[in-house]
């Protein structure tokens, strides 16, 4: 017998949360604002800005973009966990497919 919580009961709430997370964003910057990235709660980059002078240094542009992306992923996942905790009343759900 499986003693895990029944996820089927949470599915409508999870789908609602996924839609909400599309609208929620985190804004990250790297290199003292040289690269700015906005990521939504579904871990999708929705905007990317960089200072034009970074085009002269492609290696630095790539480095700062990776740094901003990785921080965006961490912050976005943190936001998802916080929203999921609110949704479940603090119930610890280890992993929800499609969210985190």
User: Of 64, 57, 68, 82, which is closest to residue 100 (Cα–Cα)?
Assistant: 82
Q: Identify whether 68 is part of a domain.
A: yes
Range of the domain at 75: 23-88
Q: Identify whether 80 is part of a domain.
A: yes
Number of structural domains the chain divides into: 1
Determine phi and psi for 76, rounding to 5 degrees.
Answer: -65, -45
Q: Identify whether 13 is part of a domain.
A: no
Distance CA 14, CA 7 (A): 9
DSSP string, 63-92: HHHHHHHHHHHHHHHHHHHHHHHHHHTT--
The CATH number assigned to the domain holding 75 equals 3.30.1310.10
Q: How confident is the model at residue 3 (pLDDT cuts 50, 70, 90)?
A: very low
- This prediction's pTM: 0.74
Q: Identify whether 47 is part of a domain.
A: yes
The token pair at 2 is 């499986």
pLDDT recorded at residue 54: 94
pLDDT tens across 17-74, in order?
Answer: 888 888 999 999 999 999 999 999 989 999 999 999 999 999 999 999 999 999 999 9
**Mean pLDDT (whole number) for 68-82:** 93
Locate all alpha helices (DSSP H) within 3-57, ordered by sequence: 11-23
């Amino acid at each position: 017998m499986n003693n895990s919580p029944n996820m089927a009961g949470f599915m409508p709430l999870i789908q609602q949360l996924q839609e909400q997370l599309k609208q929620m964003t985190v804004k990250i910057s790297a290199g003292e604002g040289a690269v700015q990235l906005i990521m939504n709660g579904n871990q999708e980059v929705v905007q990317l800005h960089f200072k034009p002078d970074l085009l002269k240094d492609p290696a630095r542009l790539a480095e700062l973009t990776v740094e901003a992306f990785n921080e965006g992923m961490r912050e976005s996942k943190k936001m998802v966990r916080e929203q999921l905790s609110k949704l479940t009343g603090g119930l610890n759900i280890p992993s929800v497919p499609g969210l985190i």
